Structure 1
Amino acid sequence: MTETLVLADPAPPRRPRIPRLLQQTAFRRYWSAQTVSLFGDQITVLAVPLLAVLAIGAGPAEMGYLTAASLLPNVFLSLPAGAWVDRYPRRRQVMIIADLGRAGLLLAVPLLWWADALNLPLLCVLAFLVGTLSVFFEVAHSSLFAALVRRADYVDANSLINGSRAMSYVAGPSIGGVLVQVLTAPVALVADVLTYLTSAVFLTRIRVTERPVQSGPGLGMFAGVRYVARSAVLRAILLGTTTLNLFNYMFAVLFVLYVTTELDVSPGVLGLIIGAGAFGGLLGAAITGPVSRRIGIGPALILGLVVFPAPLVLVPLAGGPRPLVLALLFAAEFVSALGVMVLDIAAGSVQIAATPETMLAVVSGFKRTVNYGIRPVGALIGGALGAAIEVRPALWIATLGALLGVFWVVFSPLRTMRNLPEQ
């Protein structure tokens, strides 16, 4: 008897699984707004310092002034902005206005340059105003995040957002470096203008019920100060990341200057190195969820505090043949990008989980006042130190000093924390 072999129909190809959060329209638009804005930010991060160095002729001290100008609003405005946003019923509207305002200010840079009216003091003023609008955008961001995302999804949502951030690190500097080299730094900023406008469009299309405004004696400007001071978890994170940021901004203000002048790396190559190294950020965003579930959210945060700054010692160590220099710069960027993603996802999730919804903006404002406010201090110290003892020794001090931040967290409840804390 002859048997007939019947072949089964081939199984249809499986569609890639879309993360559950991205299936939600409101979160998807929120995530899209964050993504395009992050891409533009990375173009600006490279284009503005290169503009100052190549078009205006800024030195170490001038680079410190410029970096400090963009960060000073965090010192003076974060706390009152957070208190105001907590009492304002439409936080999404605050973010939209901030996006539109930043687009207009950045558009002024190429216009002033074409009119031959751009100088360092004017660039510092524009950087200060952009930083001011960024403060309002960021303190409102936490409240919108909490309104859109369930508590159980905080780590996954932060992983998606920071995954976009990592991807922006990959493509943004590479695109920025090429744009600066081909079109000049001022023209490259036009791309960032378009991203802010696109972000504003996505935000206008979000439909979300924002929590009602609450008032009371415990919700004033200094409520965030009191709450963080009494929370061992939030206090440890703030002190650890503030220490790291002080030294990291000493490093950041000198990095572009050192690599382009002393290591003789062109803007285009520098952008490609930073972009290629940022694939480490994609890896960090992908592994933070599984790592935090395996070792605990607190130990994952501690891991990030070490892996973020440690590889940057390779930058002042770089020397010798050109391939070796480029390899060391790439390794520093890759591993550091991985570490910063682990740190940001873990710390961001813990901070939002540990803070009452009625205080998210003001606590965020206090955090920015201290944590971000220390950055212009680091920038000024870095610029002065680079001018006083030369750039390379200053980079050694900055990279090794950044590792001190982990000690604040090691001796805190985070060392044994496995799950997100209760408020």
Structure 2
Amino acid sequence: MTDREGLAGRSFRLFWGAATISLFGDAVTSLALPLTAAITLGAGALQMGLLTAFGLLPHLLLYLPAGVLVDRHRRQPVMIFADLGRALLIGSVPALALSGHLSIQALYLIAFAAGALQVLFRLAYSGRLQSLVASPLRPAANGRLSLSRSLSFLAGPGVAGLLVQVIGPPLALLTDAASFLASAGLVTGIRAHEPPPAGSPQSLWQGISEGVRFTFSHPILRPFYVVVSTMNFFNFIYWALAVLYMVRALHLPPVLIGIPPVLAGLGAIIGSLAAAPLARQAGIGRTMVAGEVMFTGGFLAVPLAFGPPLTATAIIGAGSIIVGIGLMLLDANASTMLQALIPGHLMGRVTAASDQLNWGVRPLGALAGGLLGQWLGLHPALWIGTLGALGAARCLVATRVRRFRLDDSCGPPDSR
């Protein structure tokens, strides 16, 4: 069997299927977990901010050492371990709810542990895709994976809203637990050869230093991650409070809260289909920058929303379509750019170093959101989050990222 079978091969189809199933489950959890806290447990603004922060805290604490550890092992077993662990954790929420032992403190612990396993999965996922798909086929592969993400945005939240409305938030999480089990089964079936870890053994600190040096000395990666991380800090001020704002201030029921993400999914399908053609015409960098500005600008619809529930939902839904288009223009092309710029043997460490910054600011943003929501109120805090994210996105226009094209990459060798 060849190392890379192409996109029509069984191994990539299993990889793609696993990612798709897991994304649909995640779409349910992204709505059902905060609604479990807000509706089932009656959480307030600070508690909602803490819940988001606990789920993201592993990205602040664990990314750098995890990147070194993942680069020392084959990626596929790491992915399977992470999937099975998350199935057990998410499945424990309905079990605790049915037994009467669910508490906000238990949700904090579950969110933290699931976040730690997500760190492992993300690091292993990038390296396994790089070893599975040859460089010329990666734009098409990332396009298919982005299309799956778009479809999960389209269908997942609507299904989640319906499930939450009918059976309640905790039981709706069983869907995500089942998706992790299915994903682990599909990843187990991948038979394409995975090369052994490259390079001589290093100390943990040496491995971390190598990834940090490569990332922050690179003329494109450095400005990209600094700007994106700033944007995400403000984005997570918004995310920590958005569901609570819709429930408490706009008085939207769960079934209506699920509609804007569905429309974001529709926009994401448009964006994923347009990402590659636009990148060929305008360049990957310009397409990414335009996508990031659209992505952050669409969130302004939430603090701008007013009127009865259906009117507010329509306003948020219109903004959500813009969010979806922008996210896929950014996401699909950023994946292709990073796979072109990062050598395969450094993928785990460089991804860890960059994501340490990019993801590490998210729990800080979520905590800031909870505090701002409690001190200033939900509406002013949402304005701070949305305007701050849009301002950061606009800064990307002035960097070298805007001028990046695939034929301008540093051309690291494919993963060996």
Q: Percent of aligned pairs with the same residue?
A: 38
Query: 2:72 matched to 1:79?
Result: no
Among 156, 174, 187, which residue is 1:172 paired with? 156
What secondary structure sits across from 1:293 in the alignment? helix
Cα distance in 1 for partners of 2:208, 2:238 equals 32
Conserved? CA contact 2:268–2:326, under 8 Å? yes
Tell me the TM-score normalized by structure 2: 0.94
Say if 2:103 is the partner of 1:119.
Answer: yes
Aligned residues: 403
What is the distance in 1 between the residues matched to 2:191 and 2:268?
30
2:207 corresponds in structure 1 to: 220
Kept in 1, the 8 Å contact 2:127–2:344? The answer is yes
Contact 1:99/1:196, CA 8 A, preserved across alignment: yes
Deviations 1:274-327 (A, max 9, x none): 213320001111000000000001101111110100121111111135443222
- CA positional deviation for 1:418: 2.5
What is the aligned counterpart of 2:386 among 389, 399, 414? Answer: 399
Please list the CA deviations of residues 384-415 of structure 1 after superposition, one character each: whole Å capped at 9, or x if unmatched.
11111111111111111102223553233222
Q: Partner residue of 2:45?
A: 60
Is there any run of 5+ residues in structure 2 with no aligned partner, and where? none
* 2:137 maps to 1:153: yes
Q: How far apart, in 2, do the equivalents of 1:277 and 1:324 lie? A: 17
Q: 2:34 aligns with which of 49, 59, 83?
A: 49
Q: 1:240 aligns with which of 227, 243, 246?
A: 227
Which residue is 1:355 aligned to?
342
Contact 2:154–2:262 (CA<8 Å) still a contact in 1?
Answer: yes
TM-score (norm 1): 0.92
Partner of 1:371: 358
SS for the counterpart of 1:23 is coil
5+ residue gaps, structure 1: 1-19
Change (3 A) 1:251 1:203: same
Larger Rg: 1
Match of 1:39 in 2: 24
Instruction: Give the equivalent residue in structure 2 for 1:7.
Output: none
2-structure distance, mates of 1:262, 1:21: 50
Q: Report the counterpart of residue 367 of structure 2 in structure 1.
A: 380
Alpha-carbon distance, 1:22 to partner? 4.3
- In the superposition, relative to structure 1, how do residues 207 and 408 fare at CA in structure 2: closer, same or farther (>3 Å)? farther
Asked whether 1:341 is paired with 2:325, we answer no
1:131 corresponds in structure 2 to 115
Amino acid at match of 2:127: S
Q: Which residue of 2 aligns with 1:14?
A: none
CA RMSD of aligned residues (A): 1.5
Q: Deviations over 1:35-85 (max 9, x none)?
A: 000000010000000000001110110001100111101111111111111
Q: Distance in 2 between matches of 1:226 and 1:334?
A: 38
Q: Does 1:28 align with 2:21?
A: no
Q: Give the whole-Å Cα distance in 1 for the aligned partners of 2:213 and 2:64.
A: 12
In 1, Cα distance between the equivalents of 2:402 and 2:91? 46
Report SS of the residue matched to 1:215. Answer: coil
Shift of 1:21: 5.4
Q: 2:190 aligns with which of 198, 201, 206?
A: 206
Q: CA deviation at 1:377?
A: 0.5
- The CA distance in 2 between the partners of 1:291 and 1:398, in whole Å, is 29
